[in-house]
């Protein structure tokens, strides 16, 4: 692993840095050993603004809207004094790697960066299903990522956790069908705030809403895993801040021996262990035996938010071969941290050539 020396770190930019995921990305990059955050890029109306002031104003606005249960994300010490740049500053720079957290409508900015010869690691839904654009979760499909790729996507936050769990199941037993019900935290919506009457002390169904989460999950799981197994998805927002709770029910092609077999399979699953990637969790799946776990508030931070916490494992269901619930940190593993891990894998592959 490289030393934490700014002269040896690759300069990078964050596009969409003033949004909730972009802020989390900037925080992860503040002391990263391989990447140096050189440009913080927001919308045109934020150009020149103090990043710290903007960060705090946005975090406070979310707390004021949803209520005192919301804890604002603290501003990273390593980013004090930084100001927000504009998109054109990236094009005029020598920066080759950009992390993007822009909404889908701003996706053409990513295309401009790619056309200019830069490599973009993106959380945006833009172009996720385009042919030739890889959607990567390294524990599931690291072999797809190649140094030649210039636009690399990580999937929806639910999918990011789901494919980690399904990969060892697929490899050992095969997948016949998957049913998923999500209970997603409010931070998954970012700074685009819901009417509080819909979500505070409430549960809000995303089916038929402008959010296409169910569509994304179905398509992304199939693209990442290369499976044609049918997938049923139902998505809900719940009154929690960070961490998505997801109920999963699976029918397998081959029979599962026992619950203990699945526990061992998950605990032994660590396909990135030998690569030495900074953001890779030592154990991407953390199995919890305590009844009532996992829970978003308690289990979204295993392995610095990069592991998926699993509980309620059962192989005695009358309909499905396997039942479980998991919690994925939607802002880290499911978004900013996922893109960062993809970039570390990409850089590792380039260095190994």
Any idea what DSSP says for residue 207?
Answer: T
Given 32, 149, 157, 235, which residue is catalytic?
157
Q: Which long-range contacts (CB under 8 A, 24 or more apart) does 273-276 make?
A: 275/345, 275/348, 276/1, 276/348
Query: Which residue's entry shows tokens 């945006």?
Result: 124
Instruction: Give just the sign of the alpha carbon dihedral 47, 194, 71, 161.
Output: negative
For residues 300-310, one letter each, b for 16 or more C-beta atoms within 10 angstroms of the residue's C-beta and e for the rest, the string is: bbbbebbbbbb
DSSP 287-306: E--STT---HHHHS-GGGGT
Given 149, 244, 302, 320, which residue is catalytic?
244
Task: List the one residue out of 59, 56, 8 whose CA is nearest residue 32.
Answer: 8
Residue 157 among the catalytic residues: yes
State how beta strands 322-328 and 244-252 pair. antiparallel
For residues 61-87, one letter each, b for 16 or more C-beta atoms within 10 angstroms of the residue's C-beta and e for the rest, the string is: ebeeebeeebeebebbeebeebebbbb
d(CA 118, CA 333): 24
Residues pairing with 11 in the sheet? 36
3-state SS, residue 218: helix
d(CA 132, CA 78): 37
Q: Which residues are catalytic?
A: 157, 244
């Amino acid at each position: 692993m490289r030393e934490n020396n700014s002269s040896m770190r690759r300069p990078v930019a964050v596009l969409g840095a003033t949004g909730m995921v972009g802020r989390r990305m900037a925080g992860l990059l503040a002391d990263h050993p391989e990447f140096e955050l050189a440009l913080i890029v927001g919308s045109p109306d934020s150009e020149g603004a103090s990043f710290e002031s903007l960060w705090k104003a946005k975090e406070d606005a979310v707390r004021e809207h949803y209520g005192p249960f919301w804890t604002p994300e603290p501003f990273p010490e390593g980013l004090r004094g930084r100001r927000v740049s504009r998109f054109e500053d990236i094009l005029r720079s020598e920066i080759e790697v950009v992390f993007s957290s822009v909404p889908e409508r701003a996706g053409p900015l990513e295309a401009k960066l790619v056309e200019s010869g830069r490599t973009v690691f993106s959380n945006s839904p833009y172009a996720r299903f385009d042919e030739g654009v890889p959607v990567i979760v390294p524990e599931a499909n690291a072999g797809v990522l190649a140094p030649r790729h210039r636009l690399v996507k990580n999937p929806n936050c639910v999918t990011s956790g789901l494919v980690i769990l399904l990969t060892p199941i697929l490899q050992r037993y095969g997948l016949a069908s998957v049913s998923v019900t999500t209970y997603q935290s409010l931070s998954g919506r970012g700074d685009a705030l819901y009417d509080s009457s819909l979500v505070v002390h409430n549960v809000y169904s995303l089916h038929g809403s402008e959010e296409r989460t169910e569509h994304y999950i179905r398509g992304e799981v199939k693209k990442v895993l290369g499976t044609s197994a049918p997938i049923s998805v139902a998505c809900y927002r719940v009154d929690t801040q960070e961490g998505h709770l997801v109920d999963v029910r699976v029918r397998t092609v081959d029979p599962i021996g026992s619950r203990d077999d699945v526990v061992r399979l998950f605990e032994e699953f660590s396909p990135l262990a030998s690569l030495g990637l900074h953001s890779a969790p030592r154990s991407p799946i953390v199995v919890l035996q305590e009844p009532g776990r996992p829970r978003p508030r308690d289990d979204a931070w295993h392995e610095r938010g990069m592991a998926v916490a699993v509980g309620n494992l059962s192989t005695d269901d009358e309909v499905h071969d396997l039942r479980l619930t998991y919690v994925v940190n939607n802002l880290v593993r499911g978004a900013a941290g996922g893109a960062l891990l993809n970039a570390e894998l990409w850089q590792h592959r380039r260095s190994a050539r």
